[in-house]
Amino acid sequence: MNLLSAQNLSHTFDYQLFCNISLDLQEGDSIAIIGVSGSGKSTLLNILSTLLKPDEGTVSIFGEDVAKMSKKKLSQIKRDELGLVFQSHYLFKGFTCMENLEVAAILSNQEVDGELLKRLKIDETLNQKVTELSGGQQQRVSIARVLTKQPRLLFVDEPTGNLDKSTANEVMDIFFEYISKRNAGMILVTHDEDLAHRCHKVYKLTNKELVRVN
């Protein structure tokens, strides 16, 4: 079964960003979407992750059309199964790192994984307020928070923007290991072609279409 399936998506803001885009994500799969700035990558990711309704087309998660799901079912899926790693990471600002992670752990009934914190190199910043951390550290806390809830679907938008190349690669290793271990799926938006090519499939958003490039 597809974890996620998108059919004939179209969306317009001031101008039409894309039309007739279809995409399938299977268990254990990773898909990268590349494209120039302004081509609509983040908008597409917002639609795939159910944050934004498309003008046309459908998104199905675990075989069920998101637009036809009950509010309750959709909230449960968002809370337990969807992991969003976006540029604006929405950590709770007045809280420490650990408090941010504990909120995620409690909501999803999972444990905070100490090994993961070490690998993300945030195990020594746990008692600091998130506002005291660098952009790169905040990014890694938000990644830890997302993985703590053990989602089946990861949506990742320019995850390595705040990170140096070697930290970026280590963070990506963690995502790839996670999806293969949990049989999860990932849709990654990036302008970094080297990073994109670590995914199973690479698509380019260009001229309003999604074109497979590998």
Ligand X SMILES: Nc1ncnc2c1ncn2[C@@H]1O[C@H](COP(=O)(O)OP(=O)(O)O)[C@@H](O)[C@H]1O
Please report whether residue 11 would count as binding ligand X according to CB under 6 A.
no
Among 1, 13, 115, 207, the residue binding ligand X under the rule CB under 6 A is 13
- d(CA 114, CA 33) in angstroms, rounded, equals 31
- d(CA 116, CA 103) in angstroms, rounded, equals 16
Please report whether residue 41 would count as binding ligand X according to CB under 6 A.
yes
Residue 23: enclosing H or E segment and its boundaries? strand 16-26
Closest approach of Cβ 9 to Mg ion, in Å? Answer: 16
How many residues line the site for ligand X (CB under 6 A)? 11
Please report whether residue 39 would count as binding ligand X according to CB under 6 A.
yes
Q: Which of 17, 14, 12 is nearest to 209 (CA)?
A: 17
Residue 74: enclosing H or E segment and its boundaries? helix 71-80
E strands present in 73-175 = 82-85, 153-157
Among 3, 4, 6, 17, the residue binding ligand X under the rule CB under 6 A is 17
CB closer to ligand X out of 41 and 201:
41
Q: Which does 207 bind (CB under 5 to 8 A by kind): ligand X, Mg ion, none?
A: none
| C-alpha distance across the termini of the chain, in Å | 22
Q: Which does 40 bind (CB under 5 to 8 A by kind): ligand X, Mg ion, none?
A: ligand X
**Residues of this chain that bind ligand X (CB under 6 A):** 13-14, 17, 35, 37-43
